[in-house]
Amino acid sequence: MMEALEWREETGGSFVAEAGRFSLIVRVTGSHQQARFVVLLRRSRGESALIGSGTTPGIREAMNAAEKTVGHSERSLRDAGVR
């Protein structure tokens, strides 16, 4: 089980958290009716890879969805032998 993440609010109202090699980003959509989350896998060289994204009804739900995405991705990478 992943430990609780520390989310920080950035300029412009987005929220960011780091979980190992993953970056989690959450922001309210332009219409302010939903929140979008993005999970990136940071690589030592080259571009980050998009691991998952989506929209939810609110900020807290988007944070939870991003954290679940990281949990699933960690297991998948581990099972595939990716370090």
For 12-68, write each residue's pLDDT tens digit: 889 999 998 899 999 998 888 899 999 999 887 878 889 999 999 999 999 999 999
| Rounded Cα–Cα distance for residues 12 and 54 (Å) | 19
Q: With respect to residue 1, please indicate whether it lies within any of the assigned structural domains.
A: no
Is pLDDT at 10 greater than 50 in this prediction?
Answer: yes
Q: What's the pLDDT at 79?
A: 63
Domains contained in the chain, number: 1
Is pLDDT at 7 greater than 70 in this prediction?
Answer: yes
Q: With respect to residue 45, please indicate whether it lies within any of the assigned structural domains.
A: yes
Question: Where does the pLDDT of residue 1 fall: very low under 50, low under 70, confident under 90, or very high at 90 and above?
Answer: very low
Q: Which domain holds residue 67?
A: 8-79
Rounded to two decimals, the pTM is 0.83
Q: With respect to residue 37, please indicate whether it lies within any of the assigned structural domains.
A: yes
